[in-house]
Homo-oligomer: A and B are copies of this chain.
Amino acid sequence: MAANILLVEDEPAIQELIAANLGRAGHHVVRAGDAETAQRIVRDALPDLVLLDWMLPGMSGIELARRLRADERTRTIPIIMLTARGEEQDKVAGLEMGADDYITKPFSPRELVARIKAVLRRRAPQATEDPVELGGLSLDPATHRVAAGERPVTLGPTEFRLLHFLMTHPERVHSRAQLLDQVWGDHVFVEERTVDVHVRRLRAALEPVGHDGLIQTVRGSGYRLSAQPAVAGV
């Protein structure tokens, strides 16, 4: 249950206190004093969870949260907000922004650790930065490129993440609900049928480069990416 946690907090004393407690709980903590630094660290280190103070000098916490949610690589990283008492409207804004939880200062270390545990438990591990290759189709998270042999494939952010997940978990059938969890993140509320639409868009992008049978429909269950054809004819 140990995790890499990025702590974004401008007050040194509080930063120290929290870091000490998280360290004692077995987590590895990286700290940032402002949102800009935090943003860079997130991109570089892709932590498992971000503990985010709402009141920051410069870019606000809420703005940082928005940006993390806007970037497809960081979209699914859980965020826990730290808010001062009485900033009710901020909480609402934060939750709408896609924060997974919030905690009001002052809080007990015990509570903080418990919430982190709960949030992490909700999320399945995934997302590597390594390039993936499968049946002539290659995808590189770092450069954000997809290619079928020589020919490049252009995808929207969501289709890219969807394909990335499918390629890193091939052969297996994924229900629409699981795909929503893994690709969209479990804090979003979207219709399951939305998955169908994105699968269709992905198929449409893959078909002209000769990968039409790649994503298969398993009726009643979900979708599966497989190099093998769904049925071997004859």
Mark A residues whose CB is within 8 Å of B. 1, 88-89, 91-92, 95-96, 100-101, 104, 107-108, 110-111, 114-115, 117-118, 121-122, 142-144, 151-152, 154, 156-157, 171-173, 177-178, 181, 186, 189, 218-221, 224, 226, 230-232
Contacts and interface: CB of A to CB of B under 8 A. Distances in A.
Nearest to A170: B143
A114 B92 contact: yes
Given A152-B232, A154-B231, A232-B151, A118 B101 contact: yes
Nearest to A216: B144
Nearest to A114: B95
Given A92-B114, A154-B231, A144 B218 contact: yes
Given A152-B231, A173-B143, A231-B152, A104 B122 contact: no
Stoichiometry (number of copies)? 2
9 contacts: A88-B104, A88-B111, A92-B108, A92-B111, A96-B110, A96-B114, A117-B177, A118-B122, A144-B221
A93 to B, nearest CB: 9
Contacts of A122: 101, 118, 122
Q: Which 5 A-B pairs have the closest CB atoms?
A: A157-B220, A92-B111, A95-B114, A144-B173, A143-B171
B221 A177 contact: no
A188 to B, nearest CB: 9
A178 to B, nearest CB: 7
A197 to B, nearest CB: 18
Contacts of A143: 171-173, 224, 226
A117 B221 CA distance: 16
A148 B207 CA distance: 30
Given A1-B177, A100-B121, 8 more contacts: A88-B104, A91-B114, A110-B189, A111-B189, A142-B172, A144-B173, A144-B221, A151-B232
A134 to B, nearest CB: 15
Contacts of A89: 108, 111
A107 B189 CA distance: 14
Contact of A173 (B142, B172, B189, B221): B142
